[in-house]
Amino acid sequence: MSEDCIFCKIVNHALPHHLIDSNDDFMAFLTIFPNTLGATVVIPKKHYSSYAFDLDDDVLTELMLYTKKVAKKLDGFFEDVGRTAMVFEGFGVDHVHAKLFPMHGTKQVHENWQAVNSNVDKYFEQYEGYISSHDFQRADDGELAKLAEKIRGLE
């Protein structure tokens, strides 16, 4: 546990929180800063630094499986939610956490699946404090091929 960590304080019941699920190793609570109804934070009770991909594989796997359980609980609770989005970015609190966002208005019958498209028209040169999953303009295949080749060279 980290003395200054807000999530460690929540684990120790030193700060108010709105718990929706908990077990011996993890807990899930509603964020007090929601951008949609039911926005949830999922954390391990043990303190780990905020970059999820630096976790040991077993810790990341258990966190993902627990997060899946909570996401499915949100899907089942909200009548209009067909899916819940998950984000690991961790620049707000240095304690690894998944953010879950119930995607209201996405409940569909599987036989009648329809794409849901965004009207956001933005390209990010650098991280601006939030993640968006919208598509931007079609990229040049030649440029993408060069970038992919460079990235493969890092392996």
d(CA 54, CA 40): 22
In a domain, 78, yes or no: yes
Residues 6+ apart with CB under 8 A from 65: none
> Does residue 149 carry a pLDDT above 70?
yes
* pLDDT tens, position by position, 129-139: 888 888 899 99
Residue with tokens 């951008």: 35
**Confidence band for 155, pLDDT divided at 50, 70 and 90:** low
In a domain, 153, yes or no: no
In a domain, 62, yes or no: yes
In a domain, 135, yes or no: no
Domain that holds residue 104: 6-108
The model's pTM is 0.90
CATH of the domain at 44: 3.30.428.10
pLDDT at 133: 86
In a domain, 122, yes or no: no
* pLDDT tens, position by position, 10-44: 999 999 999 999 999 999 999 999 999 999 999 99
* pLDDT tens, position by position, 74-116: 999 999 999 999 999 988 899 999 999 999 998 886 667 778 8
What is the enclosing helix (H) or strand (E) of 44?
A: strand 40-44
In a domain, 34, yes or no: yes
d(CA 18, CA 144): 44
Number of domains in the chain: 1
**Confidence band for 64, pLDDT divided at 50, 70 and 90:** very high
In a domain, 134, yes or no: no
In a domain, 16, yes or no: yes
> Does residue 117 carry a pLDDT above 90?
no
